[in-house]
Structure 1
């Protein structure tokens, strides 16, 4: 009965008119216009963070300085998605060297925690909250690594706006207030959370002023003492003592040993455009695999929202995610055959499993060696010299583990939940290991030149969103804002990197936002897809494109609180 009701709901929602169809421009999917600016551009999920980024670049800072400043602000203003207790990944276009640089700023599991300890506790899966899923936070290291190579202003100058807002306060925005309110009941049980992230035990309300003087003190210490103030000073000691007192394993030694890594982005070409992603431990190459599987099909002739468009996208996603579950892990422990996985040859072989008539119910991973409730922030910046930054940062599961060390003003991430408690699995838990990671920045070049810096946050939605934005731009001829506002597809239920207990056997579920034609919904059902309605799993988008006439074009997610702006 529930399945039938879900299908009826999906049909009713699909029959609703496309969003903003009455705009005078005649654009069916744009809630607002693209933003154009001649010098610099920033797109974030919070208006104040966007303004901070622009102020930094007006004052002579680089796009990297602006990205760091905006990320710091979002950690204060949008703690429902990120903070310095989480990890960071970035892709930077350097106009001087005319090349892309990638950074993996993710942390590792505590070295004193073992698989045997989980077995001793009788656990089959790692808990979603509390001390056990916590891994070393990599964001601050990522800031300083990026700044050392590409920064122009001091880190103290970059962090100053957030320190001021943390002390003086800022009004909480609508979407953030909604998710904050949902987080408080499940996280208040963990020590330090209620004292530092509620107002008299409740979440701040929309428009209410929020202050975080503890975070101001932490950021001030980082501004004055640099990276080591976080990883080797009193902050790290406070973290270690807190976990020792609360049944945890993250230690001062784990913090002091942390290092991030510069990595080379990898790419595939889709109809003349090169999409660049970071290699595992993240899931970025899933987007490359999906594009390779879709390239042989003439999606433009089928049209946006057609049953063929949705069906082919979902089937390609299923195939890529089967490989994601099998091959994506910390390369220091289990190197993935990345070159094979993203090759056109491998896509041609795997693509033979796609039928235009029937939906796949079960998918086994390929053998290339032989040939997500997560919430996140994404931001992008571009400066007057042509530098572009694609940056994504997260605590995982919204506000993270709930573990908030006293007096520091931030929550530690729960990324360790992504490990598998299964001996021999590529993503099996091990001490000092990076878990499989969902957060991924993206970048597109054309003929070796920068074209687009963008991202779509939201757990397993991220590679799905990366692909859909490009299809909207390249195949369906949308502009940058339309491409983000157009209704999205979210397929759920694929085999996950967390073990065979989550293997797909029923084809999963296709969730469609409002705006898809009722005829497409019916046709998808006839092909065997389970179509249903869902609120909210469609991600959050920010983008900056090079304007061929000079300057920048910006776009921002209509489903979030932020905006794109430039000067």
Structure 2
């Protein structure tokens, strides 16, 4: 239990349904959908699409998603891969011939075909109850009427407004400037797109005027995208991967997401007795940092489009974890792995919903970098993701850019089972941090007995790009001890990631947790 003398937030308890996400309007909308008779999938989709209006720098219908979900009365976890492919006419050799050593992050070459809309339409049709018109109605309303800009959103908007170019500046800036807290942002063009999708389904987005609007801006920027690329966009069912951490089973989305990296990291961490360590001490941070470097090195070598991924079984093997643990020096930090050519990012939204029948949804949704590629369609203002920056140009690599191929993704939804029962959908936003975030969240609960809210609130550390980034919650003593071990200490400009979770107690009570690093909350009824 938290110290009520100190700032913080309590978990939220309810019995009929719960949503936890990064913006209160989206959480409220999801709960309203549940009250209307929608199930958890209806509610998650309604909230997710609205997040693209509430947090346009993070996500939108020009992006991708991954989804894990369980159905009422079942503890099986289903996965849907809503990630898009590179245009058929693009490949790494073209960029290498131009002298590039990586995919241009804010160019049309980085724009993969947005596939979240196809995934949402499919899930609404196959799993939801209410239909697209009801599910999209809240986002249509807010896109037209506008949403007051929240504090964390305003901060992100200000930091990354310069990435917007061309018509994107008209759609997403206020007289050429980022909005202030409380200014109202509206997206009438997106409202019209969503109305058409509600009426005509996925073809309203991938064919006809809306697709032509996206194609025009891409081709004008030098992109090789075609109408056929958009028409062929399709989400695909997947088989989740999982691993255990002591008494919990952690279920992750398979490649091309990086969920297997979180499982490798957990396999490594369970070799250490964290429960005997200070949760805020240097010893724990050091071990986690060293294990992160090794797990991410494996990710960089093996993970890619599922049709190209190599070494997945090797990554999930306990023997691999044991060998990597043997490389960790408890007294000295190792050098970072070689820098990636593919890009990583910090911008994503996550939503989780559980309904009164026990259906649980874990959904993560992103346009990759803040404001994606910075390219928006002229008429409707659809921001296009730059997920293709996640490809490498290294010849022969599993994640090499190739037409029709999906890049390695950093976004990963999570689900936890205990004794075979689904007990918690959860997610940690924050780009590359997400694997470390999953592992730390689980360790906080298992090794230190924290509830989900306390586990989310606890300060974070992340070894990335040759640096050890520590949030301000760590003491100066711990920072010095880590520096003495050889870590290059950095205080990040923004908080590390954001997380949401819902605990499903056997009694039927739902316990929601939401990260104070974001603007959102958990709500139930």
Structure 2 length as normaliser, TM-score?
Answer: 0.96
Q: Could you give the per-residue CA deviations for residues 445-485 of structure 1, whole angstroms, max 9, x where no partner exists?
A: 00110111111111111111111111111101111111111
In the alignment, what sits opposite 1:427? 399
Q: How does 1:231-246 map to 2 (within 5 A)?
A: 231-246=206-221
Superposed, which structure 2 residues align to 1:52-201 within 5 Å?
A: 52-187=29-164, 190-201=165-176
In the alignment, which residue of structure 1 is the partner of 2:329? Answer: 355
Within the alignment, does 1:209 sit opposite 2:163 as a pair?
no
- 1:279-428 matched pairs, under 5 angstroms: 279-332=254-307, 334-361=308-335, 372-428=344-400
Write the distance in 2 (CA, Å) between the matches of 1:202 and 1:521: 37
Q: Is the 8 A contact 2:495 2:517 kept in 1?
A: no
Structure 2: gaps of 5 or more residues? none
Q: How far did 1:315 drift? A: 1.1
SS in 1 for 2:110: coil
Distance 1:402 1:184 in 2: 9
Larger deviation: 227-236 or 318-327? Answer: 227-236
Aligned to 1:469: 441
1:230 aligns with 2:198: no
**Residue 34 of structure 1: which of 11, 33, 40 is its match?**
11
CA positional deviation for 1:560: 0.7
Q: CA deviation at 1:362?
A: 5.1
**Aligned residue number for residue 23 of structure 1:** 4
Distance 2:159 2:491 in 1: 21
Distance in 2 (alpha carbons) for counterparts of 1:119 and 1:356: 41
Shift >6 Å, 4+ stretches: none
Correspondence for 1:553: 511
Q: Compute the displacement of 1:21 (Å).
A: 8.1
* Cα 1:113/1:153, change in 2 over 3 Å: same
How far, CA to CA, are the matches of 2:107 and 2:309 in structure 1?
30
CA shift, 1:22, in A, is 5.7
Could you list the runs of 5+ residues in structure 1 that have no partner in the other structure?
Answer: 1-19, 366-371, 494-507
Q: C-alpha separation between the residues in 2 aligned to 1:514 and 1:217?
A: 43
Partner of 1:538: 496
CA distance in 2, matches of 1:129, 1:412: 10
Q: Distance in 2 between matches of 1:515 and 1:21?
A: 15
The size of the alignment, in residue pairs, is 521
How far has the Cα of 1:357 moved from its partner? 1.6
Question: Contact conserved, 2:2 with 2:454, CA < 8 A, in 1?
Answer: no
Please state how far the C-alpha of 1:343 moved relative to its aligned partner: 1.8
In structure 2, distance between residues paired with 1:482 and 1:42: 18
Partners of 1:301 and 1:322 lie apart in 2 by 28
Asked if the contact 1:35/1:553 (under 8 Å) is kept, the reply is: yes
CA-based RMSD of the aligned residues comes to 1.8
Contact persistence 2:425–2:501 (CA under 8 A): yes
1:511 counterpart SS class: strand
Determine the structure 2 residue equivalent to 1:49.
Answer: 26
C-alpha separation in 2, matches of 1:336 and 1:247: 32
SS at match of 1:108: coil
* Aligned partner of residue 425 in structure 2, secondary structure: strand
Instruction: Say which SS state the counterpart of residue 158 (structure 1) adopts.
Output: helix
2:108–2:223 CA contact under 8 A, matched in 1: yes
* Deviation at residue 269 of structure 1 after TM alignment: 0.7
Q: Is the 8 A contact 2:144 2:191 kept in 1?
A: yes
For 2:177 and 2:329, locate their aligned partners in 1 and report how far apart those are by CA, in whole Å. Answer: 51
Distance in 1 (CA, whole Å) between partners of 2:400 and 2:204 is 32
